Amino acid sequence: MSKRYISPEERIIVTVDANDDFLQMHHLAQDLGPRARAFKLGQGLLLQDRPWSLVQFLSSRGVNVDLDAKYNEDADQMKTLVPQAFSRGFKHLSIGPGVGPDALVSAARATTVKNSLFVSLPSSDPLLLHHSLSNIQEANSRLRPHQQISEVMCNVQDISKVQSYGGFIIVASGIRMHGEPSDDHPCVATPAGALAEGADYLAIGRSITGKADRAAAFEQILENMSTYL
Q: What is the mean pLDDT of residues 32-61?
A: 83
Does residue 149 belong to any structural domain of this protein? Answer: yes
Mind giving me the DSSP string for 88-125? TT-SEEEE-TT--HHHHHHHHHT--TT-EEEEE--SS-
Amino acid letter at 44?
A: G
pLDDT digits (tens, 9 = 90+) for 20-43: 566 777 889 999 999 899 999 887
Least confident of 20-29, 149-158, 218-227: 20-29
* Mean pLDDT, residues 52-60: 86
| Mean pLDDT along residues 87-115 | 94
- pLDDT at 50 exceeding the cut of 70: no
The CATH number of residue 136's host domain is 3.20.20.70
- Provide the 3-class DSSP secondary structure of residue 154: strand
Domain count for the chain = 1
* pLDDT score, position 98: 86
Rounded percentage of the chain residues whose pLDDT exceeds 70: 93
- Cα separation, 195 vs 203, in Å, equals 12
- Which whole number is the average pLDDT over 167-186? 92
Mean pLDDT over each residue of the chain, to the nearest integer: 91
Is there a domain that residue 94 lies in? yes
Contact 68/41 with Cβ under 8 angstroms? yes
Q: What is the pLDDT of residue 162?
A: 96
17 φ, ψ (degrees, to nearest 5): -65, -30
pLDDT above 80 (res 97): yes
Average pLDDT over residues 75-104: 94
Answer whether residue 2 is part of any domain: no
Going by C-alpha positions, the residue among 33, 23, 22, 6 that lies closest to residue 14 is: 33
Asked if residue 159 belongs to a domain, the reply is yes
**Mean pLDDT along residues 4-11:** 84
Percent of the chain clearing pLDDT 90 (strictly above): 71
Please give the residue range of the domain that contains residue 100. 9-226
Contact 177, 220 (CB under 8 A): yes
pLDDT of the residue at 155: 96
- Give residue-wise pLDDT tens across range 115-138: 999 999 998 789 999 999 999 999
Residue 112, domain member (yes or no): yes
Q: What is the DSSP string of 112-168?
A: -TT-EEEEE--SS-HHHHHHHHHHHHHHHHTS-GGG---EEEEEGGGHHHHHTT---
pLDDT for position 4: 59
**Residue 186 confidence class, pLDDT cut points 50, 70, 90:** confident
Confidence of residue 139 (pLDDT cuts 50, 70, 90): very high
Contact 147, 112 (CB under 8 A): no
Q: Is residue 1 part of a domain?
A: no
Judge whether 3 lies within some domain: no
Quick one: pLDDT at residue 19?
A: 60
